[in-house]
Amino acid sequence: MTTASTATDKNRVIIFDTTLRDGEQSPGASMNLEEKLRIAQTLENMGVDVIEAGFPIASVGDFEAVREISKTVKNSTVCGLARATKGDIERCAEAIKPAERARIHTFISTSPLHMKYKLQMDPEKVFEKVKESVTYARNFTDDVEWSAEDGSRTERDFLARCVEAAIASGATTINIPDTVGYALPHEFSDLIRFLYNTVPNIDKAIISVHCHNDLGLAVANSLAAVDAGARQVECTINGLGERAGNAAMEEVIMALRTRADLLPYTHGVQTEHIIKASRLVSTITGFTVQPNKAIVGKNAFAHESGIHQDGMLKNAETYEIMTPESVGLTESKLVMGKHSGRHAFKEKLKDLGYDLGDNAINDAFVRFKELADKKKDVFDEDIVALVDDEVLRTNDHIQLEKLEILCGTEHQPPKATLSLNVDGNVAECAATGSGPVDAAFNAIKELVPHEAILQLYQVHAVTNGTDAQAEVTVRLEENGRTVNGQAADTDTMVSSVKAYVNALNKLIDKREKTSPDALSA
């Protein structure tokens, strides 16, 4: 978090997280209000300085999310995105009003290509818009960030003029995005140095960078920019974001921590929270993390080859440049069995970073007992899946009452009989399909007719063993609205149906809140 002492530390890098804005722009990565609040809470707890909570003009859902996050987050600055128009800026100002520290982030494209084809404006018109938008935003908050969209492909002299004008108009942060992930590290650092050496009032603002990963260089470009003087890095958890994504926060901060010898910069993020944040974002969005992904991949700290294992046993530093503990990876622990008490369970939740009310603890405890009856060993990961499953189920119009599946080599075709409670009315039906999942989903469609298209059906085992819980993600799309449903259960078919039902509940919720043609930046 930016405090009086850190603000004076010239080597302090501000970590600006845009998982909830740029991250959510990844096709399929949509999140509902409760999910965004949970992620914002996690980001605040980890010490992120600025949380870009959304693009308030884009939809009612975005506006509400930014406003609710502004009400709950106390230590991080809450930021909303706005194009260079009065309407955008006013809507953004309204959404961030409740925040203790509020930022308006306004942007306009400055590259010849974007000005000509996207904006259809000549450079002088864009230049005027820069001044107008920043000046207008300053009526609502002292903390205004201005971004030159497609900054890395902008003519340098024009970029320097715009930056100078934005600062003179009151921008306190100047963001230079590599919007299309085109820059190379030495080229990008040279651009940042050029701005430092050319813009006369540059010392009045913090330079920020926002790098996309189209060439896999987002983190490298961000770090090169920091070395050239940038003091804010915009990034996302797991590198989520448009196309190939944004710079991954976990990679940026672990590079700063691990290579402090050559990167002598400080930041306020507690790296031990990384794994929790990564898992939360992955569960909510259904975007699984590839096993070999740096820092947060399942294999990032696994040592398979005999030679490596031997070296590790002799001295962990032979093959480990950072410890698993430094990113919050603890050994998979056996938690408790069915005889464990409520008090021990409550302590375990605290250890895992959950701060739940009494009712939620009671509900989770009942489910824990049910799980311990079905599954011999209950691990930390099981508790996380179980609590997430519980917390993510809110305002359910539709609930699963009963499910029976008939399938296998002797039964043709597979058949699902299920009953659902829809707003208090219980109805049952049976349907067939090409497999048990297809049959069950067909039965749901008969009971709750809808046109949504199934975009993703994904199953992953929470732990090892055939009695592992199956964590299922179902992504549905209807008229441009996308939702992700999740559920976990030791019975894969039960979690599949619950995940589909969860997605339908979210869709119903979303129908009420968003217009189908929601904008993205």
Query: Considering the rule CB under 6 A, would residue 221 count as an interface residue with ligand KIV?
Result: no
Task: State the alpha helices, DSSP H only, in 315-452.
Answer: 342-351, 358-374, 380-391, 436-447
Q: CB–CB of 169/142 below 8 Å?
A: no
List phi, psi (to 5°) of 17. Answer: -100, 130
Helix (H, G, I), strand (E, B) or coil at 274: helix
Q: Which is nearer to Zn ion, 208 or 469 (CB)?
A: 208
Q: CB–CB of 101/78 below 8 Å?
A: yes
For residue 175, what are the β-bridge partners? Answer: 147, 208
Region 399-438 residues binding Zn ion, contact defined as CB under 5 A = none
Shortest Å, Cβ 186 to ligand KIV: 21
Shortest Å, Cβ 236 to ligand KIV: 11
Name the DSSP class of 116: I
Shortest Å, Cβ 403 to ligand KIV: 43
Query: Considering the rule CB under 6 A, would residue 62 count as an interface residue with ligand KIV?
Result: no
Work out which of 63, 107, 188, 345 binds ligand KIV, going by CB under 6 A: 107
Query: Considering the rule CB under 6 A, would residue 147 count as an interface residue with ligand KIV?
Result: yes
d(CA 400, CA 444): 10
From the list ligand KIV, Zn ion, none, partner contacted by residue 436 (C-beta under 5 to 8 A by kind)? none
DSSP E strands in 199-280: the ranges are 206-211, 232-235
How many positions of this chain bind ligand KIV (CB under 6 A)?
Answer: 10
Strands 102-109 and 77-83: parallel
Q: Position of tokens 């406003």?
A: 67
Query: Considering the rule CB under 6 A, would residue 22 count as an interface residue with ligand KIV?
Result: yes
Work out which of 62, 68, 149, 489 binds ligand KIV, going by CB under 6 A: 149
The piece of 36-44, 68-76, 171-179, 317-325 that touches ligand KIV (CB under 6 A) is 171-179
For residue 108, what are the β-bridge partners? Answer: 148
Q: Which is nearer to Zn ion, 27 or 337 (CB)?
A: 27
Query: Considering the rule CB under 6 A, would residue 244 count as an interface residue with ligand KIV?
Result: no
Query: Whose CA is closest to 44, among 310, 353, 345?
Result: 353
Shortest Å, Cβ 212 to ligand KIV: 6
SS (H, E, C) 15-55: EEECCCCCHHHCCCCCCCHHHHHHHHHHHHHHCCCEEEEEC
Query: Considering the rule CB under 5 A, would residue 178 count as an interface residue with Zn ion?
Result: no
Would you put residue 47 in left (φ > 0), alpha (ψ -120 to 50) or beta? Answer: left
Shortest Å, Cβ 245 to ligand KIV: 11
Binding mask 3-42 for Zn ion (x = CB under 5 A): -------------------x--------------------
Q: Which is nearer to Zn ion, 55 or 379 (CB)?
A: 55
Work out which of 177, 239, 328, 485 binds ligand KIV, going by CB under 6 A: 177
Shortest Å, Cβ 25 to ligand KIV: 8
Torsion angle in degrees (nearest 10) through CA of 14, 20, 23, 25:
-140
The piece of 8-16, 175-183, 259-267, 505-513 that touches ligand KIV (CB under 6 A) is 175-183
Q: Which is nearer to ligand KIV, 22 or 49 (CB)?
A: 22
Amino acid at 5: S
The sign one gets for the Cα dihedral 274, 280, 285, 291 is positive
Amino acid at 504: L
From the list ligand KIV, Zn ion, none, partner contacted by residue 80 (C-beta under 5 to 8 A by kind)? none
d(CA 233, CA 225): 9
From the list Zn ion, ligand KIV, none, partner contacted by residue 149 (C-beta under 5 to 8 A by kind)? ligand KIV
Query: Considering the rule CB under 6 A, would residue 181 count as an interface residue with ligand KIV?
Result: no
Binding site for ligand KIV (CB under 6 A): 22, 107, 147, 149, 175, 177, 179, 210, 212, 521
Binding site for Zn ion (CB under 5 A): 22
